[in-house]
Amino acid sequence: MNARDEILARLRTALADSPPPVQVPRRYRRVDDRADLIEALVDRLEDYRAVVHRGLDALPRLLGGVGRLAVPADVPAHWLRGHTGELHRDAPPLSPAALDGMDAVLTGCAVAVADTGTIILDAGPAQGRRALTLVPDRHICVVRADQVVGLLPEALTRLDPRAPLTLISGPSATSDIELNRVEGVHGPRRLEVVLVDSGV
Whether 170 has a pLDDT exceeding 90, the answer reads no
Tell me the per-residue pLDDT of 96-144, one tens digit each, with 9 for 90 and over. 999 999 999 999 999 999 999 999 999 999 999 999 999 999 999 999 9
Q: Which pLDDT does position 5 carry in this prediction?
A: 92
**What domains can you pick out in the chain, each with its CATH number?**
32-196 (3.40.50.10420)
> Given this model, what pLDDT does residue 26 score?
67
Burial 45-55 (b: 16+ CB within 10 A, else e): beebebebbee
Percentage with pLDDT > 90 across the chain: 68
d(CA 140, CA 61): 12
pLDDT per residue as tens digits for the range 65-107? 899 999 999 999 999 998 999 999 999 999 999 999 999 999 9
Q: Look over the chain and give the mean of its residue pLDDT values, rounded to a whole number.
A: 88
Locate the DSSP E strands across 24-129: 51-54, 68-71, 86-89, 104-107, 111-113, 118-121
